Structures are given as structure tokens and as C-alpha cells.
Amino acid sequence: MESYKNLLLLIVLGCGVLQSCAMRAEVYDNNNETCLYADMELQFTIKYETSDKNMSTSSFLLPSNVSTTGSTCGDNTTAPLLKLDFGDGHSFTVNFTHNQTVYHVDVITFVYNTNDSLIFPNASAKGVFTVASKVTMPDLPMDDYYKCVNPEFLIINNVTMKFSNVSVQAYIKDGNVSKQAFECDADTPTTLAPNVTTHAPNVTTHAPNVTTGAPITTPVPTPIPKPETGNYLVKTGNVTCLLADMGLQLNFSTTKNQSGWKVINIVPNDTLTSGTCGIDTSSLKLQENQMMVELVFAVKNSTKFYLNGVNVSISGQFADSNNSLEYWEASIGSSYMCNKNQNFKITDNLFLTTLDLRVQPFNVTDNKFSTVEDCLADKKENYIVPIAVGVALLVLVIIVIVAYIIGRRRNSNSGYEHF
Ligand SMILES: *[C@@H]1O[C@H](CO)[C@@H](O)[C@H](O)[C@H]1NC(C)=O
Ligand SMILES: *[C@@H]1O[C@H](CO)[C@@H](O)[C@H](O)[C@H]1NC(C)=O
Ligand SMILES: *[C@@H]1O[C@H](CO)[C@@H](O)[C@H](O)[C@H]1NC(C)=O
Ligand SMILES: *[C@@H]1O[C@H](CO)[C@@H](O)[C@H](O)[C@H]1NC(C)=O
Ligand SMILES: *[C@@H]1O[C@H](CO)[C@@H](O)[C@H](O)[C@H]1NC(C)=O
Ligand SMILES: *[C@@H]1O[C@H](CO)[C@@H](O)[C@H](O)[C@H]1NC(C)=O
Ligand SMILES: *[C@@H]1O[C@H](CO)[C@@H](O)[C@H](O)[C@H]1NC(C)=O
Ligand SMILES: *[C@@H]1O[C@H](CO)[C@@H](O)[C@H](O)[C@H]1NC(C)=O
Ligand SMILES: *[C@@H]1O[C@H](CO)[C@@H](O)[C@H](O)[C@H]1NC(C)=O
Ligand SMILES: *[C@@H]1O[C@H](CO)[C@@H](O)[C@H](O)[C@H]1NC(C)=O
Ligand SMILES: *[C@@H]1O[C@H](CO)[C@@H](O)[C@H](O)[C@H]1NC(C)=O
Ligand SMILES: *[C@@H]1O[C@H](CO)[C@@H](O)[C@H](O)[C@H]1NC(C)=O
């Protein structure tokens, strides 16, 4: 049922059954030369409320036939902008910012229209909704393109965006698309093998002086090591009441306009754990030197729990919180799990990156995790390709049958029916 719906969306949104849904968009300057391009697969998964008061999710890919009208190369006064309009009033927009040596994505905006009943059947609130965020993407040397084959997740409120096979370049001069890639953390070998970093001694919270393949002439942003996975627990008396395993990274900006992002990994061995357990709210507090991260969980409808609040303070540098989040939802009596590296927007100035996440903030029994509920990112990996292949096979079978029937008719017409 779900798969059928997604296939339908695929076809309607314009991806061929056999071709991949990778999208390539280019923006041209006054001389008709490429100044900006993006090549990627982008999957949106959106939670929305249906008229019977249930929550539903819709999942679809950015189609390959998008309109780039409204995109600009940018000049001295305006930023380069890639605006992709598709379907019934949906759009995905990225703009860029730069100085003389580096550039990066500034804001990602996604606009979706729940009047589109194909994508949002039964939506209770019909209208146009926008999620937008400054992003924590690294600085890219001018004249490099950003490359990320592995999936990266950006989660803003009800919208999960999964980017894969990404190549993007802005500020292209004279139409000369770069061959020099700046590879994302997710693609670098050290981050692919968790074992390498998990046991790395003395992981510093600041970027080490790792050299990369990029030219030495520009200040090259260094990859941040992946956070170590910690096993945290909260007890009441001698009974464990909250369990949380995770690698946790904070991306925060101390400036109002998010002009630069700082990254800190939580180092489990240096972390002091505390917290509270209640019937409908629980919390986990992690403290390391001058830094404090608090996660607050709540219960809704006596059946589900979710991450309701995140509270971060770094003495003298940064403090921010949001207490109306709805992330990491799962049934009470079970645990929520997400192995994939995910980037959650908490506030304009704060993102939380999680890795190997498993939490159970309520109803822990026998000091261990109960049954698990997987996150969207871990589930349904690549279900679209098998469907496409299945449909192609079906078409093939039909062609063979039709050919066979036609062949038989011919045969009987020409009187060769006795074999
Ligand atoms: C721009 O270049 C493309 C090929 O790169 C060509 O198809 C198109 O007609 C050109 N447009 C103009 C306005 O010159
Ligand atoms: C987002 O999700 C919340 C609950 O998770 C829901 O109340 C709200 O209506 C959703 N927003 C949109 C625009 O669908
Ligand atoms: C942009 O600025 C450069 C120098 O910074 C100048 O040479 C150029 O004429 C300006 N272009 C426009 C369109 O203003
Ligand atoms: C990018 O777009 C956002 C709004 O979508 C705007 O606030 C921001 O200033 C733009 N960035 C630049 C560098 O122009
Ligand atoms: C450009 O920005 C980067 C990172 O924010 C900084 O290291 C570099 O010094 C800046 N370069 C110039 C010329 O301002
Ligand atoms: C990590 O190490 C464990 C045992 O040391 C091994 O079972 C596991 O496969 C390794 N994982 C990876 C990704 O190498
Ligand atoms: C953390 O502590 C545990 C036990 O105390 C130890 O086995 C492990 O090696 C430590 N990890 C690091 C990175 O220091
Ligand atoms: C780790 O750090 C401690 C003190 O911070 C130091 O004594 C030790 O030698 C370091 N170990 C390694 C392998 O660098
Ligand atoms: C890396 O840092 C270490 C110690 O902090 C230093 O000895 C070494 O020279 C540095 N390497 C480079 C390439 O800067
Ligand atoms: C936990 O404490 C209760 C009393 O407070 C005691 O009866 C029980 O044996 C303790 N359990 C363990 C595992 O120590
Ligand atoms: C609350 O939970 C009950 C029982 O699972 C369910 O029937 C009902 O639809 C839920 N209500 C809401 C608003 O989610
Ligand atoms: C969770 O624990 C509460 C009491 O702490 C209990 O009332 C509730 O029935 C439990 N729920 C499940 C699903 O086990």
C-alpha cells in the first residue's frame, strides 16, 4: 500500500521507472555559462496530520523535472540562489555565501503545499508550509565542488531531508565546472569505520591538524572526528529508569547571524551523567567541564514518548534551548533507535548530531532496553529501486505474454497449430 503510493508519486512527479531519480539542475549566467549546479538525490519525508487526527507520513523524491526559474548566479549584491520548483506548488531552495577564499551553503528552505492531495492525502491543515534553516555545512574552498555520496540527514520539525550522491558547486567562473572535490565527512574513510574512532584515545573536542587532499594555499576546514558512543543511564534508587546510548555532537553558532559554526563532541568518559525519571516526563543531563546538555522527554496520549526539549549551555560562550520539539518518537515500553548520522535542528543557533542512537526514557525494566522502534532513516532503505525493478520485470512479462499470444495467433492463422 505504502509502496504503491510511493510508486505513484514517483511516476506522477516525473521519474522514469527505469531511470534513477537523481536530479541535475544548472543555472546559467548572462553569457549562458554554468555558474551554479546541483546534482543529487533528495528524499523528503514529511509528517502531517490527517483529518481523522492521526499522523501520517509522506515520502517522495525530488523529481528530475524541476523548474529552475527564479534561480540566480548572484552578483556583488545578491547571493547565488538555486530555486527548484516542482509538482503542485512545492519548492526547494538553497542560497550561498562566501568570502574571498571560501564559500558555503547559507540557508536551505523547503516549501510544501498540503493541498496536493496526491502527496498529502487527507491532510487536515491545507496550505503552504515552510521549513528553513541556516545549515552547518563546512566552508568549501572557492573553486571546489562539494561531494557527498553517502546519505546525510537534515531534520527540521516535521520534515526529514535525506541527501545522497550530492555534487554542488556555486560561484563557477567562466562556466568551468570544477573537478576538485571537497568530500563530506560521511565519505571520508575514518568516519565510515566507527571502530577506528570509537577507540581513539584522547579525542579532542576541537579539530585536530589532520591534513586533507585539498590545496594547501587556502585555509582548509578539517573534518571533525565522529563522536564516541556513550552509554548513559539514570537511576532512581538502585533501579535504572532511563537508558541512552549515543554519539552526540553539538553544532552551535555564537553569533546572531550564524556566520560560523563550532563543533563539539561529547566525550563519554569525561561526562557526568544525571537526570530525573517521572511518569510523563524524564530527563538526561550530561555535563563535561563547562558544558551542559539536557535532553527532556515527554509522553503524549499515554502511548508515545518523544524528545520534547533540548537545553545546552557552554559556560561563557553559548546558551540556548527549545522545549517544543517532537523528535525521536516511539511507543512507551519500547526504545527508539537510529544508527544513522542525523542532524536535528534545535534552534537557529543549535543543531544536534546523533549517531548510534538508542534511547528509552520510560518504563525501563531489568536495567536493559526493551523492544526497539527504528527511525525513518534506518527503515525502508531504498525501497524505490526494488519497486522500479519489479515494475520493469512486470512490464517485461506482459510484453512476453502479448508477444506469445500474437505469435500463437499468427501460427494458427497460417495453419501450423499442430506441433
Ligand atoms: C545556452 O546553451 C545551451 C547549451 O549549453 C543551449 O542549448 C541554449 O540554447 C543556450 N541558450 C541561449 C539563450 O543561448
Ligand atoms: C507537524 O507535526 C505536529 C505534531 O508532530 C503537528 O501537530 C503539526 O500539525 C504538523 N505540522 C504540519 C504543518 O503538518
Ligand atoms: C563587482 O565588484 C567588482 C570589484 O569588487 C567590480 O569590478 C565589478 O564591476 C562589480 N560588478 C557589478 C555588477 O557591480
Ligand atoms: C539566503 O536566504 C535567506 C532567506 O531565504 C536570507 O535570509 C539570507 O540573507 C540569504 N543569504 C544571503 C547570503 O543572501
Ligand atoms: C574566509 O572565511 C574563513 C572561514 O570563516 C576564514 O578562515 C578566512 O580567513 C576568511 N578569508 C577572508 C579573506 O576573509
Ligand atoms: C567493529 O569491531 C567489532 C569487534 O571488535 C566488529 O565485530 C565489528 O564488525 C566492527 N565494525 C566495523 C564497522 O568494522
Ligand atoms: C573510557 O573508559 C573505559 C572504562 O573506564 C575504558 O575502557 C575506555 O578505554 C575509555 N575510553 C577512552 C577513549 O578513554
Ligand atoms: C592522553 O591524554 C593524557 C592527558 O590528557 C596523556 O597523559 C596521555 O599520554 C594521552 N595519551 C595519548 C595516547 O596521547
Ligand atoms: C600536529 O600537531 C602536533 C602536536 O599538536 C604537532 O607536533 C605536529 O607538528 C602537527 N602537524 C602538523 C602537520 O601541523
Ligand atoms: C534495590 O533496593 C531494594 C530496596 O530499596 C532492595 O530490596 C533490592 O534488593 C535492591 N536491588 C538490588 C539489585 O540491589
Ligand atoms: C490515543 O491512543 C489511543 C489508543 O492507542 C488511540 O485510539 C487514539 O487515537 C490516540 N489519540 C490520539 C490523538 O493520538
Ligand atoms: C509504563 O509505566 C507506567 C508506570 O510507571 C505504567 O502505568 C504504564 O502502564 C507502563 N506502560 C507500559 C506500556 O508498559
CATH of the domain at 354: 2.40.160.110
Measured from CB, residues less than 6 Å from any atom of ligand 2 are 47-49, 125, 129, 158, 326
Q: Which domain holds residue 371?
A: 229-377
Q: Is residue 407 part of a domain?
A: no
Name the least confident of 94-98, 234-238, 253-257, 267-271.
253-257
Question: Nearest bound ligand to CA 300?
Answer: 11
Same domain? For 156 and 280 the reply is: no
Same domain? For 21 and 128 the reply is: yes
Is the pLDDT at 8 greater than 70? The verdict is: no
366: Cβ below 6 Å to ligand 10?
no
What stretches of 253-366 adopt beta strand conformation (E)?
262-265, 272-277, 281-288, 291-300, 304-314, 318-322, 327-331, 335-338, 342-347, 350-360
Please check whether residue 191 is in contact with residue 149, taking contact to mean a CB–CB distance below 8 angstroms. Answer: no
By DSSP bridging, strand 291-300 and strand 304-314 are: antiparallel
Specify the residue for cell string 508519486.
9
Same domain? For 31 and 179 the reply is: yes
**pLDDT-derived band at 215, boundaries 50, 70, 90:** very low
Same domain? For 249 and 372 the reply is: yes
Q: Is residue 396 part of a domain?
A: no
Q: Which DSSP helix (H) or strand (E) runs through 172?
A: none
Distance 76 CA to ligand 3 centre (A): 6
* Candidate of 44, 55, 131, 155 to mutate for ligand 2, largest count of ligand atoms within 8 Å of Cβ: 55
- The residue nearest atom 7 of ligand 10, judged by CA position, is 238
**pLDDT-derived band at 388, boundaries 50, 70, 90:** low
Same domain? For 39 and 130 the reply is: yes
Q: Is residue 210 part of a domain?
A: no
Same domain? For 137 and 51 the reply is: yes
Q: What are phi and psi of 13, to 5 degrees?
A: -75, -5
Is the pLDDT at 29 greater than 80? The verdict is: yes
* Cα(343)–Cα(154) distance, integer angstroms: 5
- Residues 308-364 have pLDDT tens digits of 999 999 988 899 999 999 999 999 999 999 988 899 999 999 999 999 999 999 999
Select the more confidently predicted residue: 293 or 400: 293
Tell me which DSSP letter residue 166 carries. Answer: E
- Total structural domains within the chain: 2
Distance 302 CA to ligand 11 centre (A): 9
**In this predicted structure, what is the pLDDT of residue 391?**
65
Please check whether residue 247 is in contact with residue 354, taking contact to mean a CB–CB distance below 8 angstroms. Answer: yes
- Residues 295-306 have pLDDT tens digits of 999 999 899 999
pLDDT average, residue stretch 63-80? 92
Q: Is residue 130 part of a domain?
A: yes
Name the least confident of 39-43, 227-231, 282-286, 400-404.
400-404
**In this predicted structure, what is the pLDDT of residue 260?**
74
Is the pLDDT at 207 greater than 50? The verdict is: no
Distance 372 CA to ligand 6 centre (A): 21
* Cα(170)–Cα(80) distance, integer angstroms: 7
- The residue nearest atom 5 of ligand 3, judged by CA position, is 76
Distance 194 CA to ligand 6 centre (A): 8
Distance 99 CA to ligand 5 centre (A): 6
- Residues 155-164 have pLDDT tens digits of 999 999 999 9
**pLDDT-derived band at 389, boundaries 50, 70, 90:** low
**pLDDT-derived band at 6, boundaries 50, 70, 90:** low
**pLDDT-derived band at 10, boundaries 50, 70, 90:** low
194: Cβ below 6 Å to ligand 6?
yes
* Candidate of 72, 73, 103, 106 to mutate for ligand 4, largest count of ligand atoms within 8 Å of Cβ: 106
* Candidate of 269, 270, 272 to mutate for ligand 7, largest count of ligand atoms within 8 Å of Cβ: 269
* Cα(74)–Cα(103) distance, integer angstroms: 13
- The residue nearest atom 2 of ligand 3, judged by CA position, is 76
**In this predicted structure, what is the pLDDT of residue 390?**
63
Would you call 36 helix, strand, or coil by DSSP?
strand
By DSSP bridging, strand 128-134 and strand 291-300 are: unpaired
In ligand 5, which atom is closest to the CA atom of 260? 5
Residues ≥6 apart with Cβ < 8 Å to 407? none
Same domain? For 20 and 154 the reply is: yes
Q: What are phi and psi of 119, to 5 degrees?
A: -85, -35
Distance 107 CA to ligand 4 centre (A): 6
What residue type is 249 in one-letter code? Q
Q: Is residue 138 part of a domain?
A: yes
* Cα(345)–Cα(153) distance, integer angstroms: 11
Percent of the chain clearing pLDDT 70 (strictly above)? 80
**pLDDT-derived band at 256, boundaries 50, 70, 90:** confident
78: Cβ below 6 Å to ligand 3?
no
**In this predicted structure, what is the pLDDT of residue 50?**
94
Question: What are the Cα distances from residue 72, in Å, to 39, 66, 95, 394?
Answer: 17, 15, 9, 43
* Cα(409)–Cα(419) distance, integer angstroms: 14
**pLDDT-derived band at 375, boundaries 50, 70, 90:** confident
Question: Of 184, 216, 240, which closes a domain?
Answer: 184
Q: Is residue 211 part of a domain?
A: no
Distance 32 CA to ligand 1 centre (A): 6
332: Cβ below 6 Å to ligand 12?
yes
**pLDDT-derived band at 200, boundaries 50, 70, 90:** very low
Please check whether residue 351 is in contact with residue 163, taking contact to mean a CB–CB distance below 8 angstroms. Answer: no
**pLDDT-derived band at 412, boundaries 50, 70, 90:** low
316: Cβ below 6 Å to ligand 8?
no
Give me 244's grid cell: 541512552
Same domain? For 21 and 168 the reply is: yes
In ligand 6, which atom is closest to the CA atom of 198? 1
Is the pLDDT at 392 greater than 50? The verdict is: yes
- The residue nearest atom 9 of ligand 3, judged by CA position, is 76
Beta-bridged to residue 155, according to DSSP, are 160, 344
Same domain? For 157 and 263 the reply is: no
Same domain? For 259 and 360 the reply is: yes
Question: What are the Cα distances from residue 94, in Å, to 202, 267, 327?
Answer: 37, 33, 24
Q: Is residue 196 part of a domain?
A: no
By DSSP bridging, strand 152-156 and strand 342-347 are: parallel
Question: Of 184, 208, 237, which closes a domain?
Answer: 184
Q: What is the C-alpha end-to-end distance of the chain, expressed in Å?
A: 44
pLDDT average, residue stretch 207-231? 56
Name the least confident of 194-203, 315-324, 373-382.
194-203
Same domain? For 362 and 236 the reply is: yes
DSSP of 221-246: PPPPPPPPEEEEEEEETTEEEEEEEE
Same domain? For 98 and 159 the reply is: yes
* Candidate of 191, 192, 195, 226 to mutate for ligand 6, largest count of ligand atoms within 8 Å of Cβ: 195
Residues 251/255/256/259 CA torsion (nearest 10 deg): -80
405: Cβ below 6 Å to ligand 6?
no
Q: Is residue 215 part of a domain?
A: no
